[in-house]
Amino acid sequence: MEAVRVLNDLLARPTHEGVLEGALSHASFLLGGNLRGYAVTHRAQGQDRAAQDRAPQDRAAPDRSAQDRVAAVFGYPKALVGTPLSGPWATLRTRVLSDGSGQLYAANPPELHGILDTCGMRDVALSLVVPVNDRGRNLGALVLDRNSPEDIGTAAQELVTRWATAIAPLLGLLESREEWKLTARQVSSAVVEAFESQDFDGLGHAQAVAEASVKLGRAVGLVDRELDELWFAATLHDLGKIHGEKGHPQVGANFLHGVPHLAQAQKAVRHHHERWDGQGEPDKLAGEDIPLYARILAVANAYVHLGDFERLRGEAGKGLDARLVGLMEKVSAESPAK
């Protein structure tokens, strides 16, 4: 029954952080409890999803932070998640560190020591580092910390090592899915850019609308999966113009026909020219009968086209959802879309 419970816990949050939190929790259980821990992921340059989601002007130059970062915690503050770290997990074998966090501090620059101090890592007396490998590929490591110098026996180390081996394929599967999603984004962006290049004034429009849409979607409370679909809708919203301006929303929606995972994106593309007052196209939907993604896309599209909120506010309650116009103004004041 314990195995079933653990499996349910892992699958309840099928993300890197969710799976690794569950993995740390069960590893602590296997070691008798009274431990804290964190999981570090090792990812190739370009696979960092957070960096991909940032606007180009906000992206830092590539450095080691794109390689190793904290992906989940157990017993440590959540603020540690996302922190770039170097540490004693490069070797592909389980190790007990009797000097506690000494090697961790030595491997990282002084500017990170304050974060580690805040998390209480100077109090660590002993650490167990367990690599996570999928078919010889280094995915990262589980690090379990104990404040007392009580040793962790060989049998317990083997238990946790086997546990890390068991979860590695699931992490590998999640990473493969992320790689596929990134590839799909890159291909979509390339296709749209090739289309936009026919009209110099249109270059970058889809990217700007996508960035504004995701900001607005996040403010509405959409989760990552929903934001992904909204991104595709915004990026592809004008692709139907390849057959001309007239009726392009329906043409663009037809391009997404038969893609089950983008069903809501298809609706958004089809209906992004509907109007809140019911005078839009193609189906003259009004108010909240217009799909949410389409209303978000319409506001973001108008914001990018008009360029100022005085003109955008003039469309609130007429062509656009007034609540979303207000949110767009709020999130743009906090972090202006470029």
Domains in the chain with CATH codes: 2-177 (3.30.450.40), 204-334 (1.10.3210.10)
Give the model's pLDDT for residue 338: 39
- pTM comes to 0.54
pLDDT average, residue stretch 158-170? 85
* Helices and strands: H and E segment counts in the chain: 13, 5
Share of the chain above pLDDT 90, in %: 48
256 Cβ partners below 8 Å, 6+ apart? 236, 262, 265, 266, 269
**302/283 Cα distance (integer angstroms):** 20
Q: What are phi and psi of 146, to 5 degrees?
A: -130, 135
Q: What is the DSSP letter of 257?
A: T
E-only strand ranges, the chain: 36-42, 68-74, 95-97, 126-134, 137-146
Q: Is 231 left (phi over 0), alpha (psi -120 to 50) or beta?
A: alpha
CB atoms within 10 A of CB 211: 22
Tens digit of each residue's pLDDT (9 = 90 or more) over 269-322? 999 999 999 999 999 999 999 999 999 999 999 999 998 889 999 999 999 999
Give the model's pLDDT for residue 197: 65
Q: In sequence order, what are the beta bridge partners of 97?
A: 127
pLDDT average, residue stretch 145-159? 91
**18/38 Cα distance (integer angstroms):** 12
Q: Are the C-beta atoms of residues 211 and 243 closer than 8 Å to each other?
A: no
Give the model's pLDDT for residue 294: 97
Nearest to 133 by CA among 176, 171, 102: 171
Q: In sequence order, what are the beta bridge partners of 73?
A: 38
Give the model's pLDDT for residue 271: 96
Q: Cis ω on the peptide bond leading into residue 169 (within 30° of 0)?
A: no
Q: Between 270 and 5, whose confidence is greater? A: 270
Tens digit of each residue's pLDDT (9 = 90 or more) over 99-140? 989 999 999 999 999 999 999 999 999 999 999 987 777 888
Q: Percent helix, strand and coil across the chain, each rounded to 5? A: 55, 10, 30
68-74 and 95-97 strand pairing: unpaired
Q: What are phi and psi of 320, to 5 degrees?
A: -125, 155
Q: Are the C-beta atoms of residues 85 and 108 closer than 8 Å to each other?
A: yes
What does the mean pLDDT of the chain come to?
82
Query: To 5 degrees, how large is the angle CA 92–CA 93–CA 94?
Result: 135
